[in-house]
């Protein structure tokens, strides 16, 4: 089954009682039982909900996985992954990653005795020397947030398998339309469903997808025991959004490439980060593992200051200054003061995140209008 067909049909069937084509919103907290313990597969809505179950099956199918789990946010999904570990375990994570991920790793889980190493991952083989007996997880984003670094999933998967270490990939930027990390050797795929999967800036949600039944049992236990589950109406909205994922991603990608090429030739731009560009240091890896390059890009202004970035962003009319990404509308953000403010300035600069860096989530508007907006703001 091709991707567009899966997005619309996988795991989704007409509702049995009425034949409703769209999965209904099962807005209930509990379910009637014929007698204690004798029920129709549903006991309590934290544990199971029919709307959520359909979405979980759909997400698993899109990632070519066996088991899907939805959570109240992307961070709730990350929280669940780290709860698979125990004190004295160690995690190797990319040094260029979402600020909220860095925050939960360092400010929450370090207090419980889990150690995190943040390292460049452009060369997967360099990671091997960082692995020791306590290493239990490798955590990867690709493309990374906000510098759009590309990490070779297949090579990283081989290293994780060799050392019997769990390998998790945050696939939020790429989406399963670009690549499916489970097929390339990952054990866990994480999504901030809030972003491209939902696609309309109206839902907060996270997801985990796995192939291993053992891992699925552990995640299912934590999902129920800790209770960070999404509401049924949110699940309904995501199911609706996913039906156009393949169409939206094509448009995001086309617009992203056009804007990257416009910016790379602009006299006021110092550097553009987008994996479609031949100058991107990981361009060849991106071509190898990604179906498309996506609609996320970042750029640095030649005049490197927060004030200069703010002034340019304030002049934008179509690009809305806002947190988040992946919606149909174009957004711009200033990572140093917004999404990555929780990372200390010295750490940000060491990893290449300059104060003038602006991140764009390129929407699906007419690209000529978006380029015109950027041109007038830069002028």
CATH number of the domain that 208 lies in?
A: 3.40.640.10
pTM of the model: 0.95
Specify the higher pLDDT residue, 188 or 40: 188
Q: Give me 200's structure tokens.
A: 């309309």
**Judgement on whether residues 310 and 235 belong to the same structural domain of the protein:** no
Instruction: Kindly tell me the burial class for residue 24, based on how many C-beta atoms sit within 10 Å of its own C-beta (0-12, 13-18, 19 or more).
Output: middle
**Judgement on whether residues 234 and 308 belong to the same structural domain of the protein:** no
Cα–Cα distance measured from residue 57 to residue 63, given in angstroms and rounded to the nearest whole number: 10
Helix (H, G, I), strand (E, B) or coil at 356: coil
Q: What is the pLDDT of residue 259?
A: 98
**Judgement on whether residues 297 and 275 belong to the same structural domain of the protein:** yes
Is there a catalytic annotation at residue 46?
A: yes
Contact of 38 with 273, CB cutoff 8 Å: no
Cα–Cα distance measured from residue 173 to residue 176, given in angstroms and rounded to the nearest whole number: 9
Cα–Cα distance measured from residue 194 to residue 204, given in angstroms and rounded to the nearest whole number: 5
Contact of 153 with 140, CB cutoff 8 Å: yes
Count of Cβ atoms closer than 10 Å to residue 281 Cβ: 12
Q: Which band of pLDDT confidence, cut at 50, 70 and 90, is reported for residue 38? A: confident
Q: At 275, give phi and psi (nearest 5°).
A: -65, -10
**Judgement on whether residues 140 and 287 belong to the same structural domain of the protein:** no
**Judgement on whether residues 79 and 214 belong to the same structural domain of the protein:** yes
Count of Cβ atoms closer than 10 Å to residue 4 Cβ: 15
Beta strands in the chain (DSSP E): 67-71, 90-94, 115-119, 135-141, 166-170, 188-192, 206-210, 269-273, 296-301, 320-321, 331-333, 357-361
Q: Which domain holds residue 235?
A: 3-242
Which of 242, 275, 309 terminates a domain? The answer is: 242
**Judgement on whether residues 224 and 344 belong to the same structural domain of the protein:** no
Angle between helices 306-315 and 367-378 (to 10 degrees): 130
Cα–Cα distance measured from residue 149 to residue 153, given in angstroms and rounded to the nearest whole number: 12
pLDDT digits (tens, 9 = 90+) for 351-374: 778 888 999 999 999 999 999 999
Is there a catalytic annotation at residue 57?
A: no
pLDDT digits (tens, 9 = 90+) for 212-264: 999 999 999 999 999 999 999 999 999 999 999 999 999 999 999 999 999 99
Which of 242, 258, 281 terminates a domain? The answer is: 242
Q: Which of 46, 158, 250, 291 is catalytic?
A: 46
Q: Which of 98, 102, 196, 273 is catalytic?
A: 98
Q: Is the pLDDT of residue 342 over 80?
A: no
Beta strands in 171-280 (DSSP E): 188-192, 206-210, 269-273
Is there a catalytic annotation at residue 161?
A: no
Q: At 138, give phi and psi (nearest 5°).
A: -110, 125
Contact of 373 with 319, CB cutoff 8 Å: yes
- Within 13 Å, how many C-alpha atoms sit on residue 232's CB side? 17
- The stretch 299-328 carries a mean pLDDT of 95
**Judgement on whether residues 65 and 200 belong to the same structural domain of the protein:** yes
Contact of 294 with 143, CB cutoff 8 Å: yes
Helix (H, G, I), strand (E, B) or coil at 59: helix
Q: Which of 6, 52, 136, 195 is catalytic?
A: 195
CATH code for the domain of 285: 3.90.1150.10
Q: How high does pLDDT run on average in the chain?
A: 95
pLDDT digits (tens, 9 = 90+) for 172-215: 999 999 999 999 999 999 999 999 999 999 999 999 999 999 99
Contact of 256 with 276, CB cutoff 8 Å: yes
Q: By percentage, how much of the chain surpasses pLDDT 90?
A: 87
Is there a catalytic annotation at residue 273?
A: no
Give residues with Cβ within 8 angstroms of 145, minimum separation 6.
Answer: 96, 97, 98, 172, 173, 296, 335, 339, 359
**Judgement on whether residues 178 and 78 belong to the same structural domain of the protein:** yes
**Judgement on whether residues 349 and 281 belong to the same structural domain of the protein:** yes
Q: Is the pLDDT of residue 346 over 90?
A: no
Q: Which of 170, 187, 355, 373 is catalytic?
A: 170
**Judgement on whether residues 138 and 98 belong to the same structural domain of the protein:** yes
**Judgement on whether residues 161 and 212 belong to the same structural domain of the protein:** yes
Q: Which band of pLDDT confidence, cut at 50, 70 and 90, is reported for residue 6? A: very high
Which of 212, 242, 272 terminates a domain? The answer is: 242
Count of Cβ atoms closer than 10 Å to residue 160 Cβ: 24
Count of Cβ atoms closer than 10 Å to residue 293 Cβ: 26
Q: How many domains does the chain have?
A: 2
Beta-bridge partners for 358: 299
Cα–Cα distance measured from residue 52 to residue 70, given in angstroms and rounded to the nearest whole number: 7
**Judgement on whether residues 190 and 270 belong to the same structural domain of the protein:** no
Give residues with Cβ within 8 angstroms of 96, minimum separation 6.
Answer: 120, 141, 144, 145, 146, 147, 149, 351, 352, 353
């Amino acid at each position: 089954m091709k991707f567009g067909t899966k997005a619309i049909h996988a795991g989704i069937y007409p509702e049995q009682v009425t034949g409703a084509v769209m999965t209904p919103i099962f807005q209930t907290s509990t379910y009637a039982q014929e007698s204690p313990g004798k029920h129709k597969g549903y006991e309590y809505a934290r544990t199971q909900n029919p709307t959520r179950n359909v979405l979980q099956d759909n997400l698993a199918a899109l990632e070519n996985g066996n088991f899907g789990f939805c959570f109240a946010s992307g961070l709730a999904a990350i929280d669940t992954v780290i709860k698979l570990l125990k004190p004295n375990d160690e995690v190797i994570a990319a040094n260029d990653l979402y600020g909220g991920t860095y925050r939960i790793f360092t400010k929450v889980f370090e207090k419980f005795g889990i150690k995190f190493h943040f390292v460049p991952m452009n060369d997967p083989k360099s990671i091997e020397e960082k692995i020791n007996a306590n290493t239990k997880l490798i955590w990867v984003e690709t493309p990374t947030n906000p510098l759009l670094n590309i990490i070779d999933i297949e090579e990283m998967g081989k290293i994780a398998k060799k050392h019997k270490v769990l390998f998790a990939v945050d696939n939020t930027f790429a989406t399963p339309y670009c690549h499916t990390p489970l097929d390339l050797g990952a054990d866990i795929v994480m999504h901030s469903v809030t972003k491209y999967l939902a696609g309309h800036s109206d839902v907060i949600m996270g997801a985990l997808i796995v192939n291993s039944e053992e891992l699925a049992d552990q995640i299912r236990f934590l999902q129920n025991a800790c209770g960070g589950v999404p509401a049924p109406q949110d699940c309904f909205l995501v199911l609706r959004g996913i039906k156009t994922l393949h169409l939206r991603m094509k448009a995001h990608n086309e617009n992203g490439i056009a804007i990257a090429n416009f910016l790379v030739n602009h006299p006021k731009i110092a550097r553009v980060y987008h994996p479609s560009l031949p100058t991107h240091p990981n361009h060849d890896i991106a071509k190898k593992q990604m179906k498309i390059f996506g609609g996320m890009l970042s750029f640095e202004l030649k005049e490197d200051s927060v004030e200069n970035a703010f002034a340019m962003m304030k002049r934008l009319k179509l690009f809305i200054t806002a947190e988040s990404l992946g919606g149909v509308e174009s957004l711009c953000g200033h990572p140093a003061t917004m999404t990555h403010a929780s990372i200390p300035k010295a750490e940000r600069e060491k990893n290449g995140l300059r104060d003038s860096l602006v991140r764009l989530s390129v929407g699906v508007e007419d690209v000529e209008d978006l380029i015109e907006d950027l041109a007038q703001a830069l002028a």
